[in-house]
A and B are shown apart, each in its own frame.
Chain A
Amino acid sequence: MNTTRRSLLKGVGGVLTLPLLESLSFAAPSDAEVPIRFLVVGNPFGAHPEHFFPTDFGKDFTISPTLQSLDWLKDRMTVISHTDHGMVSGHGREISFLSGVLPTDAQAFPEKNMSIDQLFARHVGSQVRYSSVGAALEAGIRMSWTANGVEKLPITDPQKLFNHLFLNLSPEQKSVRRDMLDRNGSILDTVGSQFSGLLNNSSKTDRDRIDQFQTSIRELEHSLADRKTWLDRDKPSFDISGHFAESEMTIANRYDAIFDMIAYAFETGLTRVASIEFPSELKYTDIDGVNRSYHGCTHNGKADDTVAELVAIESFQVSRLSRCLKKLDSIKEPNSDGTMLDHTIVLFGSGMGYGGTHSNRNLPIMVAGGGFKHGGHVDARDTSGKNMPLCNLYVALMQRFGIERDKFNTSTGRFDLQHG
């Protein structure tokens, strides 16, 4: 009886996929608008404040030593001083970087300690093949959390990231997935048939919530159809060989491989949300001038040479990001005036202020790209001198991402970062 509805849907799906075959885009069929993306890069120990924060405020600020590699982007970035999540000092609280909420306090929030990247991922949903991608070397820093307070682990090996993003499923794997999509499709058909009793008896006032349900069924059917299309369609191919050809496998070219894969995944519409983490366990010693462990460098006793090592590690993180942003900025965004960077919200920072003092106040935060009217170096304190909740920034990012909400976890307002 419902065959008509279902076949109609299939028909629609078919029509929508046609133009896709002509373009190189691997994005969802249903999406005609210019996409907005999100890239976040985080570390577990914050940054040495004197080297991270510029000494002057305003648009014409002087670029700081740690951010030196981003000098070319100076008028399209915002460095924010005096913003944090109001956490006490100590390790372990940096995991609230993207949510403002510790797992132990998560029950107080409807979306638990969901991180902002996962909020974005949920918003994008099945419009893209991967709602989000997380990557790191060796280990993660626990910055991505889903709405259920479950940690989302990053892929910690470039080869695995490559397989995940660009390697096609085996025919058997495809058939298992297709089978489950089919089964869920039939469930939806059946569920959709259970409205007759409701609708016969419902008055106008009841209708809107029933309509909401019916709309959800239709939308989910579309989304399952999209996913089937993903399944049948090959992933874009990416040439990874160049990254592993070098005689020496430095962390620099391993991170460059990760960043390049993410940039390409953005470009080909595989995903719109990515997070890249710089863990504490990684050996940073192949960076020039670094001999100690990352954590060791943060406890430098203010010794100049150790501080220099720490700043070298932090500058290294920023420079890998800078290289990626240059790449994004070199690609023109289809159907728009700007570059891909202008349509990618970039966030660099940490949930820890500075490891040396174990402070979780005044977090090092930098926003770039995203087509914002950037403000250079901004002091976020309010008139009484209180630091701004970092979630206020996330409200601004969220709205730029197309989510019409004015609150996110511990936000008390919206950081003034306009788009356009």
Chain B
Amino acid sequence: MTHCSKCHSGPKPKGDFDLRSLETDPGNDSAELWETSLDYVKAEEMPPAKQSRLSKSDRQRLIRFLEEKLRFHSRLTTRSKRIKPRRLNNREFENSVRDVLLIEDVGTHQPTDNLIGDALHEGFDTHGDTLGFSKFHLEQYIDAVRRIVDATILSGDQPRSHRYEIDGDEIFAAHTSQNTKRPERRGKSDGFDFLDPKQLAYFEEFKTAPQTGWYRISIRCTGKDRGRYDSNETGVYDDDPIRMTIRLGNRERTFDLPDEEVMEIKLNEWVAAGSRLRMQHPTDGLRMRSNGNFKFQNAIAGQYLKEHDPPLYAKVVANMKSPKSRNARRPESWQNWVKYWQGPRPRVFSAVVEGPFYESWPPRRQVALLGSNPDADNAAAILKPIAERAWRREIRSEELDQVVRLVQSRADQLGDVEALKEGIVAILTSPPFILLNTEDVTSTDRFATKFNYFLKSTIPDTGLREAVANGRLNSFDGVREEVKRVINQSEGKPFLRAFPFAWLKLNDINFMAPDPDYYHHYHRKRVSEDMVDEALHFFSHAINENIPVTEFLSADYSFINADLAKVYGVADVPDDSILRKYTFTDGRRGGLLGMAAFLTITADSLGTSPIHRAVYVMENFLGIHPSPPPPDVKIAEPDVRAAKTIKEVLEAHKADKTCASCHEAIDPFGYAFENFDPMGAWRDNYSTRLSRPAATAKGRSKEKPQGIPIDASSSFRNGTHYRDITEFRKLMLTEANRDRFVRCFITKLLTYANGVEPDNFPEVEKIVRTSAAHEYRIVDTIAAVIDSPLFREE
């Protein structure tokens, strides 16, 4: 310990860490410092290489000492493992209401759109302290549930069905701009063409569903002119099928259309009254020529005719206004070619909409909820199974009395069915529904509920509740089997999206998007969506193949499409938008460390910051939380116009001793990524465009003087040096770093599951060891987390 006190004592201890703050044993306040010390000593980062005279055996002794102290501390403190209750987040609320009411989704009429957005904590939307609750929340819950129930339980007489036949010239393009005075474009008798991907088409006769019920929709359509124009110009890949999305309110159905061949799309959908029926051409192409509006795309039609139909081109040009006229345009101007547009697009010939239909009256979904005799006198019996699903446990005696009284007091005024709806609204806005993990539930109910919200973000079904009650999930093996079953039956989709989204902070990708003037491709092709998809796809792959968690770092492959291939500088991928496995041979990419999503999230719009990237790597991959700079420190702002590299700026910063001790720990985790620009593309030199005034940069001159070469080398505190990203990636696979990564991943899983970061070091270590015993397989690791006392709260 005298080793350490040389630096970590006195009025200005290094790294703002004074040995005395450890006290003689870990306490509730100092346990975290003990954990950090252990982590640094294990990774041989402390004592630092320059000062280290610690022998191997001494280091092992120190590690054992720290570990024992920490274990002793956790045994001493009988702190409860119980997690505080938290409210459902909006995602969970929507899924849960859906499953309580036994419907396909909450409805097409955007009934939950009024809910107040959930704030995130470190990317997580399950964080108890962050999920606020106020009267606004409560009122919006009541409103939302009312709207959902109103579109599920219908009172009164059965509405009559109508048949609407729609021809091509009865299809209109809804206004997309502010200019609502211009008449809306109407289709022709031979069909309606989608000219602009922003355009939403609607049927004149059927703008919105007049009543709630089943509707049969059939649409005759085709894909037109795929590949006619150069895909570099349109941004639409030749190998991507032309698609069409049909939107019923907020429910979307997307279809691949055959080229120049009629297809009849048939839909049978339960649609809520007032939901709009709209169609759209979904594509990430046809955007951002010039300053970004679709209309500029029309210039492509002119270019095309000039090349392929010179006589027509000449005719159009000849008919233009004389060049002397005040409003004369250049022949290539987009305005001249709007009529001649033949870009890739769906065409709708005609459609038939029929409805509303009901398989019975009252509809089946209503009978499923209220039975065939919805009498307020039976309210207790009718509402009990609903409440049991909603509250995720058995209903205690007298618990529903107030709800039943509410129903019966309203029955005279509102009628039986409407009064029962009031009861359902009350059940779905009551604390046992809204609050997860309250203390009054049994441990089996709590576990079943937590398990299901963890993987499926919704209420547990009776099968799972029984399995838990029968003790089938009492063991690691039992949990693992159930996790595998959930994943195989693709019921775990909510987890497969929500968890990696939170862990990797994918939500932040456009918070500081690459500058649109310099990173055109990123904006033109909405590449951020591809980047997010890549990360999610990799995660799903990991789960489906049950690969070792460590492969997130060691993989030499990822999943990319043509848009990402452009970012990664890769040529041999098909010309389409489908993500496929791709193996990188340059040692620079593959896995999380080479992903553009991470590299973009951590960059500014014009420049990159090794610090941001280092902190992201440390916090999300290694579980190290570097302390923020002291408040009185003056930080030089990076100046993209200056000829200094970020490394030179940081070196200057490190000349200050107080800064140096922390930055020696942080910076090496970030320098390695300097070869990746703000959207994650490889670069050998810093761009020179930025160092010139904006005015000349805008002139897009072709000459490209060499910028300052990038130095992506650095040394860790333990003395290991790397020259570039390929060497850095190897260093990330050392035993110490691999351990850190697995522990960090487990911590993130626990944070997602519990809504709070775990603070029980030995129990987390136990999960790490179980994971190690199963070759770090990801499904086994997840099972180890769920089987842990930290998840079970026991």
Interface size on B, residues (CB 8 A): 67
Q: Which secondary structure dominates chain B's binding surface?
A: loop
Q: Which residues of A contact B120 (CB under 8 A)?
A: 110
A292 proximal to B (CB < 8 A): no
A420 proximal to B (CB < 8 A): no
Docked CA distance A122–B640 (Å): 40
The stretch of A186-194, A231-239, A326-334 in contact with B is A186-194
A15 proximal to B (CB < 8 A): no
Q: Which residues of A contact B523 (CB under 8 A)?
A: 88
Q: Determine how close the nearest CB of chain A comes to the CB of B299; give it in whole angstroms.
A: 15
Contacts A88-B291, A281-B179 given: A191-B432 contact, CB under 8 Å?
Answer: no
Give A338-360 as 1s and 0s: 1 = Cβ < 8 Å from B's Cβ atoms: 00000000000000000000100
Interface residue from B426, B508, B639 paired with A108 (Cβ < 8 Å)? B508
B410 proximal to A (CB < 8 A): yes
Docked CA distance A220–B406 (Å): 18
Q: Determine how close the nearest CB of chain B comes to the CB of A84; give it in whole angstroms.
A: 13
Q: Which residues of A contact B516 (CB under 8 A)?
A: 88
Once the chains bind, are B440 and A209 in contact (CB under 8 Å)? no
Once the chains bind, are B178 and A141 in contact (CB under 8 Å)? yes
B619 proximal to A (CB < 8 A): no
A198 proximal to B (CB < 8 A): yes
Q: Which residues of B contact A200 (CB under 8 A)?
A: 440
Contacts A148-B115, A148-B117, A385-B641 given: A139-B180 contact, CB under 8 Å?
Answer: yes
Once the chains bind, are B399 and A410 in contact (CB under 8 Å)? no
Q: Determine how close the nearest CB of chain B comes to the CB of A189; give it in whole angstroms.
A: 7
Most-contacted residue by chain B among A1, A110, A112 (CB, 10 A) = A110
Once the chains bind, are A213 and B431 in contact (CB under 8 Å)? yes
Once the chains bind, are A86 and B432 in contact (CB under 8 Å)? no
Contacts A110-B120, A139-B178, A187-B425 given: A197-B410 contact, CB under 8 Å?
Answer: no
A172 proximal to B (CB < 8 A): no
Contacts A190-B406, A210-B431 given: A44-B178 contact, CB under 8 Å?
Answer: yes
Docked CA distance A410–B511 (Å): 7
Q: Which residues of A contact B788 (CB under 8 A)?
A: none
Once the chains bind, are A202 and B511 in contact (CB under 8 Å)? no
* Interface positions of B from 163 to 192, Cβ below 8 Å from A: 177-181
Q: Which residues of B contact A382 (CB under 8 A)?
A: 637
B84 proximal to A (CB < 8 A): yes
Once the chains bind, are A212 and B84 in contact (CB under 8 Å)? no
B279 proximal to A (CB < 8 A): no
Q: Which residues of A contact B128 (CB under 8 A)?
A: 209
B602 proximal to A (CB < 8 A): no
Docked CA distance A284–B118 (Å): 43
A279 proximal to B (CB < 8 A): yes
Give A138-155 as 1s and 0s: 1 = Cβ < 8 Å from B's Cβ atoms: 011110000110100000
Q: Determine how close the nearest CB of chain B comes to the CB of A226; give it in whole angstroms.
A: 11
A125 proximal to B (CB < 8 A): yes
A216 proximal to B (CB < 8 A): yes
A105 proximal to B (CB < 8 A): yes
The stretch of A27-35, A46-54, A89-97, A256-264 in contact with B is A89-97
Most-contacted residue by chain A among B117, B177, B293, B410 (CB, 10 A) = B117
Q: Which residues of A contact B137 (CB under 8 A)?
A: 216
Interface size on A, residues (CB 8 A): 62
Q: Which residues of B contact A220 (CB under 8 A)?
A: 135, 138-139
Contacts A111-B117, A383-B637 given: A92-B293 contact, CB under 8 Å?
Answer: yes
Q: Which residues of B contact A417 (CB under 8 A)?
A: none
Give A353-388 as 1s and 0s: 1 = Cβ < 8 Å from B's Cβ atoms: 000001000000000000000000000001111000
Q: Which residues of A contact B409 (CB under 8 A)?
A: 186
Q: Which residues of B contact A223 (CB under 8 A)?
A: 135, 139
Q: Determine how close the nearest CB of chain A comes to the CB of B527; give it in whole angstroms.
A: 13
Give B509-523 as 1s and 0s: 1 = Cβ < 8 Å from A's Cβ atoms: 111010011000001
Q: Determine how close the nearest CB of chain B comes to the CB of A51; give it in whole angstroms.
A: 22
* Interface positions of B from 496 to 545, Cβ below 8 Å from A: 507-511, 513, 516-517, 523
Once the chains bind, are A183 and B133 in contact (CB under 8 Å)? no
B396's closest neighbor in chain A, by CB?
A197
Once the chains bind, are B293 and A91 in contact (CB under 8 Å)? yes
Once the chains bind, are A184 and B142 in contact (CB under 8 Å)? yes
Once the chains bind, are B430 and A90 in contact (CB under 8 Å)? no
Once the chains bind, are B293 and A148 in contact (CB under 8 Å)? no
Once the chains bind, are A217 and B138 in contact (CB under 8 Å)? yes
Q: Which residues of A contact B422 (CB under 8 A)?
A: 183, 186-187
Once the chains bind, are A213 and B434 in contact (CB under 8 Å)? yes
Interface residue from A188, A205, A209, A384 paired with B86 (Cβ < 8 Å)? A209
Q: Determine how close the nearest CB of chain A comes to the CB of B120; give it in whole angstroms.
A: 6
Q: Which residues of A contact B743 (CB under 8 A)?
A: none
A206 proximal to B (CB < 8 A): yes
Docked CA distance A123–B336 (Å): 50
Contacts A190-B406, A209-B86 given: A280-B291 contact, CB under 8 Å?
Answer: no
A-B contact pairs, 12 of them (CB 8 A): A88-B291, A89-B292, A140-B178, A194-B399, A194-B432, A198-B432, A200-B440, A201-B440, A202-B439, A213-B133, A213-B435, A279-B178
A88-B292, A203-B82, A384-B637 given; 10 more Cβ-contact pairs under 8 Å: A88-B516, A139-B181, A148-B115, A186-B422, A190-B405, A191-B426, A209-B435, A216-B137, A219-B135, A384-B638
Tell me the B residues contacting A by CB distance below 8 Å: 80, 82, 84-87, 113-120, 128, 133-139, 142, 177-181, 290-293, 396, 399, 402-403, 405-406, 409-410, 422, 425-426, 429-432, 434-435, 438-440, 507-511, 513, 516-517, 523, 605, 637-641
- Give 6 nearest A-B pairs by CB, closest first: A90-B291, A201-B440, A220-B135, A219-B135, A193-B402, A110-B117
